């Protein structure tokens, strides 16, 4: 008999909705590859800012995109993007990147160059013996893996999300990022039709994980 098929878990939601923490814990519980696509957009943003290529200068931006050569390095259970063979550091979580990432992410061509790379993480999961992957972002269940085995959308009250960022010692323009991500023409942030919508405002991280895990577990038995 061949190996069982990979399962794909898609988790979408806005900033500080609990996507990353939930995804990491589900990856650990079910032996899944964790893929944080938000970090991909952050890495691209940092690289283009480093090259002085603004998101609003379309000609320069389109000229720069083909030179962004992507590869993947495994770090624990997480897939880490390399650009030109180099990983990003803590700078991708800086205030500067926070302020610009939604603008770059709104460019259709930026999203297009990442499409195959993101879908290709299934091969990374296979090569490293994972049972599947859990991918978090803003268009995973709608665009990247619309036929995922599980599609979840996490959301929380904006004030609660600001508190979560502050507890992490970070600042984030959550309301503005929500506005930009939800209003962009290409792959806007929204709960995909048929996805399971979960309000995490008054739930602990453990409660969110247990809720999702209870739905996923029967698929793996």
Pick out the residues of the known binding site for ATP: 13-21
How far apart, in Å, are the Cα atoms of 142 and each of 19, 23, 183, 203, 212?
A: 16, 17, 15, 25, 18
Pick out the residues of the known binding site: 13-21
Q: Where are the alpha helices (DSSP H) in 51-94?
A: 58-64
Q: Where are the alpha helices (DSSP H) in the chain?
A: 19-30, 37-50, 58-64, 95-105, 108-119, 121-127, 158-167, 174-183, 205-216
Residue 34 in contact with residue 79, Cβ under 8 Å? Answer: yes
- Treating both helix axes as pointing N-terminal to C-terminal, what angle do 19-30 and 205-216 enclose, rounded to 10 degrees? 50
Q: What are phi and psi of 114, to 5 degrees?
A: -90, -15
Residue 102 in contact with residue 14, Cβ under 8 Å? Answer: no
Residues contacting residue 127 through CB under 8 Å, at least 6 positions apart: none
């Amino acid at each position: 008999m061949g190996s069982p098929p990979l399962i794909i878990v898609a988790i979408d939601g806005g900033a500080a909705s609990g996507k990353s923490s939930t995804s990491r814990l589900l990856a650990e519980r079910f032996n899944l590859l964790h893929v944080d696509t938000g970090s991909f957009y952050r890495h691209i943003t940092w690289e283009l800012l480093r090259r002085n290529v603004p998101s609003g200068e379309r000609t320069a931006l389109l000229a720069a995109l083909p030179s962004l050569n992507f590869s993947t390095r495994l770090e624990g259970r997480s897939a880490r993007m390399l650009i030109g063979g180099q990983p990003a550091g803590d700078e991708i979580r800086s205030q500067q990147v926070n302020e610009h990432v939604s603008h770059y992410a709104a460019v259709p061509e930026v999203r297009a160059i990442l499409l195959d790379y993101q879908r290709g993480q299934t091969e990374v999961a296979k090569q490293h013996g994972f049972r599947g992957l859990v991918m978090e972002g803003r268009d995973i269940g709608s665009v990247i893996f619309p036929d995922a085995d599980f599609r979840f959308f996490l959301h929380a009250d904006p004030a609660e999300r600001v508190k979560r960022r502050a507890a992490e010692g970070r600042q984030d323009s959550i309301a503005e990022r929500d506005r930009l991500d939800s209003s962009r023409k290409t792959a806007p942030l929204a709960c995909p039709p048929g996805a399971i919508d979960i309000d995490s405002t008054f739930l602990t991280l453990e409660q969110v994980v247990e809720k999702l895990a209870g739905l996923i577990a029967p698929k793996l038995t």
